[in-house]
Amino acid sequence: MNKKLLAVAALALVTGSVMKAQTTCTGTQISCFTSIVPTAQTNKLIIPAEHRYQLILKEGDNYTEGGGFVGGQNDFTGYIPKTGSSTNGYLSVNHETNPGGVTMAEINYNTSTKLWQLTRSRAVSFSDASLVQTIRNCSGGVTPWGTVVTAEESVTSNDTNSDGYKDYGWLVEIDPATAQVISQNTDGSKGKLWQMGIMNHENVVVNNAGTVAYYGEDGGTNKVYKYVMDTPNNLSSGNLYVLKLDQGLSNGDPIGTTATWVQVPNKTKADQNNTASLAQSLGGTSFNGVEDVEISPIDGKIYFTAKGLNKVYRLQDDGTTASQVETFVGGLSTTYSFTTPQGTKTEAWGDGNDNLTFDELGNLWVLQDGGKNYIWVIAPDHTQANPKVRLFASMPAGSEPTGLTFTPDYKFGFFSIQHPDSTISTDVDATGNTIDYRGKSATIVIALKENLGATGSLGTVDQPTENSVTVSPNPTSGIVKINAPKGLKNISVTAYSIDGKLVYSNKFAGSNTSLELDFTSQLDASRILILNIEADGGFRKMVKVLKK
């Protein structure tokens, strides 16, 4: 759904503990960047100046094979390498629609142009009677053995094909090479992963050994699950467990540091059709919107989000028990400080932490569905007492980031921009061409500039602003002047109210050294405006304008 925009000034008024962070990076990893300046959502994607992005596919594109076109509500975005390659693979994109769907694309990287090419795209078939269909394919996961698991976020009580299973609310395994479902029923027909249980499924992550899977329930009873496979690399059968904190939660934080994995019956159809209620009766802990679970490559700990509690948690899985349970990062009013091109800035975490993924250095990338729909990056040695948090991206107006995954060499990251407003601007990506995904969910790749596209500055980035450009007087009774002694060409000015509504938008063709604007009526309605000034050459400046 569309998210309400929030202005920078609004969160600046939120109280909470201010946390300092170091953001120095001297390497060539994708996590080497200077944080963007905190912002309300604008009409473009904002990423660090060190990076570029390239559009791979978008809602409404024609499939190259099988007819039809790419669906909407792009969600989980999984890169699956061909024979371990970081430049040749499959790209699986979920569609959180009703009925649901999955796009399976094949992509490769041209080392001469430093651009990705889409060579094949088609829809995964869910038309078999034994599957019924899928619904709201939200998040998912890529397995160590090279398959994709897609998750149905909605649950229904219907049994359309009379097979004894409820139709929706399951995990489904897909072979990216064939774009076919490979999870099977006992009779060999295509099926869903029944023993993994029915619930409002979000993602699934499997350990490198291919023996244990973790996942969460976004809705219903909001629990965290562990699934121990009977046979490695085979999700069709195993034992299911729910996480129970030994001392529960208080104000969204674990009271103690220990937990127990309680086994949930999952061998009969009756049990498989009632996973959530069984887990609830066994005392599993409810976290409110478990959107994602991931495994750290550094310490092997299990990290998971609780969207409704606005926090990310972590624990050490000890087998039948868990230890070191704690809140890792987040909190609605918790604020973090970080270095930007405009100096040190402070921003509240806000709400809606959703998808998670780790890079090779153990940095945790947190994608938000809610608040300002940011992408945050948290260092592996971060603690709430000694925070190390940076701000990577701001999504275009109306949209949220979904489903980030990396190539094996961690040079490229793929994610989707879900449901952007139709009023956002066109942009220029790493190809140097104008791209247009206004009102259409889109899937993109990001990388350091040296790895993506031609030499020069392409795409929408958070450029350092010129100190000579001023907005005055500020505070003002209404009239302000934008002064640019060196001149700005083709200036675009937008203004947002304190509650994030677009209240002014205008473009000024040609070159200008001064503009006089009247915000009297806008400031009468909202005593604080966020002014966004853009111009040719990548210039961008945001100013908070106060009413006198």
CATH code, domain carrying 183: 2.120.10.30
Q: Domains in the chain: how many in total?
A: 2
SS3 label, residue 261? strand
Q: Are residues 457 and 475 in the same domain?
A: no
Pairing mode, strands 461-462 and 47-48? parallel
Asked if residue 104 belongs to a domain, the reply is: yes
**Listed residues 405, 433, 462: the one ending a domain:** 462
CA 292 to chain centre: 10
CATH code, domain carrying 512: 2.60.40
Residue 322 and residue 510: Cα distance in Å, rounded?
63
DSSP 410: S
Q: Are residues 526 and 414 in the same domain?
A: no
Asked if residue 205 belongs to a domain, the reply is: yes
**Residues in contact with 234: Cβ distance below 8 Å, sequence separation at least 6, in sequence order:** none
**Residues in contact with 120: Cβ distance below 8 Å, sequence separation at least 6, in sequence order:** 64, 65, 105, 106
Residue 452 and residue 174: Cα distance in Å, rounded?
29
Q: Are residues 499 and 393 in the same domain?
A: no
Beta partners for residue 447, in sequence order: 52
Question: Shortest CA distance to 435 belongs to which of 443, 445, 427?
Answer: 427
CA 149 to chain centre: 17
Q: Are residues 345 and 475 in the same domain?
A: no
Residue 199 and residue 441: Cα distance in Å, rounded?
26
CA 389 to chain centre: 16
Identify the segments of the chain with pLDDT beneath 50: 1-24, 455-466
- pLDDT tens digits for range 463-519: 434 457 899 999 999 999 999 888 888 888 888 776 657 789 898 988 889 999 999
Asked if residue 234 belongs to a domain, the reply is: yes
Radius of gyration of the chain (CA): 24
Q: Are residues 240 and 193 in the same domain?
A: yes
Residue 404 is encoded by which pair of tokens?
Answer: 């980030």
SS3 assignment for 206-255: ECCCCCEEEEEECCCCCCEEEEEEEECCEEEEEEEEEEEECCCEECCEEC
For residue 134, count other CB atoms closer than 10 A to its CB: 26
Residue 121 to residues 179, 375, 410, Cα–Cα distance (Å): 10, 27, 24
**Residues in contact with 188: Cβ distance below 8 Å, sequence separation at least 6, in sequence order:** none
Question: Shortest CA distance to 403 belongs to which of 139, 31, 207, 200?
Answer: 139
Asked if residue 220 belongs to a domain, the reply is: yes
Q: CA dihedral in degrees (294, 300, 301, 304; nearest 10)? A: 0
C-beta separation of 514 from 479 below 8 A: no
Q: Is there a cis peptide before residue 473, judged by omega within 30 degrees of 0?
A: yes
Residue 116 and residue 446: Cα distance in Å, rounded?
11
Domain limits at 485?
A: 470-546
Give one DSSP letter per residue of 125-154, joined into a string: B---TTT-----EEEEEE-TTS-EEEEE--
Asked if residue 1 belongs to a domain, the reply is: no
Q: Which amino acid is at 438?
A: R
Residue 103 and residue 63: Cα distance in Å, rounded?
9
C-beta separation of 48 from 342 below 8 A: no
Asked if residue 2 belongs to a domain, the reply is: no
pTM as predicted = 0.81
Q: What φ, ψ does residue 152 adopt, rounded to 5°?
A: -90, 120
Q: Are residues 494 and 378 in the same domain?
A: no
Q: Are residues 533 and 384 in the same domain?
A: no
**Listed residues 440, 462, 484: the one ending a domain:** 462
Asked if residue 419 belongs to a domain, the reply is: yes
Q: CA dihedral in degrees (58, 206, 126, 87; nearest 10)? A: 40
Residue 224 and residue 244: Cα distance in Å, rounded?
9
Q: Are residues 416 and 500 in the same domain?
A: no
Number of separate helices (H) and strands (E) present in the chain: 4, 39
- pLDDT tens digits for range 138-188: 999 999 999 999 999 999 999 999 999 999 999 999 999 999 999 999 899
Residue 312 and residue 287: Cα distance in Å, rounded?
10
Residue 431 and residue 299: Cα distance in Å, rounded?
38
Segment (H or E) for 490 = strand 479-496
Q: Are residues 426 and 318 in the same domain?
A: yes
Angle in degrees, CA 77, 83, 86, rounded to 5:
55
Q: Are residues 400 and 527 in the same domain?
A: no
Q: Give the pLDDT confidence score for residue 149 in this predicted structure.
A: 98
Q: Is 237 exposed, middle or buried (0-12, 13-18, 19+ CB in 10 A)?
A: middle
**Listed residues 420, 444, 462: the one ending a domain:** 462
Segment (H or E) for 326 = strand 321-330
Residue 289 and residue 221: Cα distance in Å, rounded?
9
- pLDDT tens digits for range 437-448: 999 999 999 999
Q: Are residues 454 and 527 in the same domain?
A: no
Q: Are residues 437 and 505 in the same domain?
A: no
Q: What φ, ψ does residue 435 adopt, rounded to 5°?
A: -115, 150
Asked if residue 3 belongs to a domain, the reply is: no
Residue 477 is encoded by which pair of tokens?
Answer: 């009774």
Residue 487 and residue 468: Cα distance in Å, rounded?
10
For residue 366, count other CB atoms closer than 10 A to its CB: 27
Residue 147 and residue 142: Cα distance in Å, rounded?
6
Q: Is there a cis peptide before residue 475, judged by omega within 30 degrees of 0?
A: yes
**Residues in contact with 497: Cβ distance below 8 Å, sequence separation at least 6, in sequence order:** 7, 503, 522, 525, 526, 528, 529
